[in-house]
Structure 1
């Protein structure tokens, strides 16, 4: 008689050259769960067992630069080719021929790129919070400055040492505000760092935590970042223009595997008019986009805020493949 699935941990020597710490549960078809910024495997704690119980091998790595995986110091080692390469290298390392790749926040662009770069290895792809965007005609930082000046938070993250000092000053306060705080954005609904302020000033410090987030959750994340800090995770952002250069061969290429997009109606990532308008262009980029699922009363931390709904959607999508 098979027992109840448990989450276990190990380090996998992947073909990408970087040993990856993974949390995993279950057996069956492989499902990779890729976290975002600034998180870890822990953001998938509600999905690992649910997917295992549904008959899948659910695997959530600490991605490059994070947690027990760690990574190199060089900024250029955090390009989208490195990140997607790490995820794809787990597939043969875990004894699978193909996988469904699921990503949230920064993990979503990694997931979309795995499907773009190696559709032969990706049975399906799911993005949470961040839709796929076509490669633009100009480097991203140039486009952001042209449209918004220097206030966009991704440009703030380009400054070496600045964001890591702010985020690392008080780790408990950082994660309390980042995960539990409400938006302090103005009517533009754009993530702009206030003049003279920092990234966290875009969020209000919560009086009480939301019911999906506990003090223990915050303590776990704070402990994960105590030793390694934020520089390596921020290096993902410091490769925006390099990623644009490296992906030139895939300009106008389509994401062919079956896909699902899950969004929170209150997510700052898609709450502005421009982002929502861009969703109408997705069928041209992702021809087999099965659905765009909007979760009501849900912010950015999708799978943690609405685990039941996300689990049901993932399992239904997996069963359809």
Structure 2
């Protein structure tokens, strides 16, 4: 175990989780795990610019409820491996990491929970590999087709999503967000959250994770690779070669903080066209960082949803 991992483990010594590593597919992932090995598996996928720590309130709640909980640092983030090149962060690779992680724990399926970018990956995993997803819970991340639909018809959503275009600029976003020990990352979190959501220690941890060599560039590559893939998808649609969107049949819970500065509440509507079994829970007053703003409510919703049977 590396020195930085030993230090992180010591600082979390009073928490009911362990720090582990696994090679899944062609990438080494660091993850935090809690709960008994034989319990049903729940995989928690974090967003940008976070790491496993964004689930600090949900990990013990789900473990106490009888689940084997795994929260990885996604590829490129914090202590996980940071493969080079834009192609390493294509959606196919990110979905593959989730499936391979489920394989690593010897399971046929898992409940997959994702927030922000982790939510985007969770949606795509359920869409592309529904047989591996028992249940799907997404926090403040829109269904991919519903998001494309909103971008085509709503200029306000384009205004909210300006940062996605800014991230296409080479090198500059990494330089600005990473300056002064990732000061910009802490500021981004503070300015988009409700007052008091993140304490000084929380912000220090996020900044430290983002300041690791190569971490910010890898995280921003998620946006760059997606943008490139979306251009290719639009081209295929124009010539009639795009595959039709399949209606998702995995039981789905969408939790949405209504004060999200980047994603409008309109994105929670019209989902029945894309998902056959979906429940939407909108939380007034909660920001984009809904699991940190309203941890007890989110915990209750996730525990209830994970325990439902078809």
In structure 1, the partner of 2:195 is: 210
In structure 1, the partner of 2:132 is: 121
In structure 1, the partner of 2:295 is: 307
Match of 1:156 among 163, 166, 171: 166
Distance 1:305 1:170 in 2: 27
Distance 2:58 2:303 in 1: 10
1:20 matched to 2:29? The reply is yes
Distance 1:7 1:279 in 2: 33
Distance 2:147 2:306 in 1: 31
Match of 1:223 among 180, 194, 208: 208
Distance 1:26 1:249 in 2: 42
Distance 1:136 1:175 in 2: 25
1:83 matched to 2:76? The reply is no
| CA shift for structure 1 position 179 | 1.7
Alpha-carbon spacing, 1:5–1:54, altered in 2? closer, same or farther (3 Å): farther
Q: 3-state DSSP class of the match of 1:21?
A: strand
In structure 1, the partner of 2:3 is: none
Distance 2:175 2:227 in 1: 23
Contact 2:52 2:72 (8 Å CA) reproduced: yes
Q: 3-state DSSP class of the match of 1:256?
A: coil
Q: 3-state DSSP class of the match of 1:257?
A: coil
Distance 2:169 2:182 in 1: 23
Distance 1:114 1:130 in 2: 14
Alpha-carbon spacing, 1:311–1:74, altered in 2? closer, same or farther (3 Å): same
> Where does the alignment leave 5 or more consecutive residues of structure 2 unmatched?
1-13
Q: 3-state DSSP class of the match of 1:237?
A: helix
Distance 2:79 2:88 in 1: 17
Distance 1:116 1:75 in 2: 23
Contact 2:114 2:138 (8 Å CA) reproduced: yes
Q: 3-state DSSP class of the match of 1:310?
A: helix
Alpha-carbon spacing, 1:143–1:76, altered in 2? closer, same or farther (3 Å): farther
Contact 1:144 1:152 (8 Å CA) reproduced: no
Distance 2:182 2:176 in 1: 12
In structure 2, the partner of 1:264 is: 257
Distance 1:250 1:125 in 2: 22
| CA shift for structure 1 position 212 | 3.1
> Where does the alignment leave 5 or more consecutive residues of structure 1 unmatched?
184-208
1:287 matched to 2:272? The reply is no
Root-mean-square deviation (Å): 2.8
1:71 matched to 2:59? The reply is no
Distance 2:63 2:127 in 1: 26
The 5 Å alignment of 1:139-178 reads 152-171=162-181, 173-178=183-188
The 5 Å alignment of 1:22-41 reads 22-27=31-36, 28-41=39-52
Q: 3-state DSSP class of the match of 1:181?
A: helix
Alpha-carbon spacing, 1:320–1:250, altered in 2? closer, same or farther (3 Å): farther
User: Taking structure 2 as the reference length, what is the TM-score of the superposition?
Assistant: 0.84
| CA shift for structure 1 position 218 | 1.0
Distance 1:21 1:144 in 2: 39
In structure 2, the partner of 1:56 is: 67
| CA shift for structure 1 position 226 | 2.0
Q: 3-state DSSP class of the match of 2:29?
A: strand
Contact 2:186 2:207 (8 Å CA) reproduced: no
Distance 1:42 1:18 in 2: 20
1:235 matched to 2:221? The reply is yes
User: How many aligned positions are there?
Assistant: 284
Distance 1:156 1:61 in 2: 27
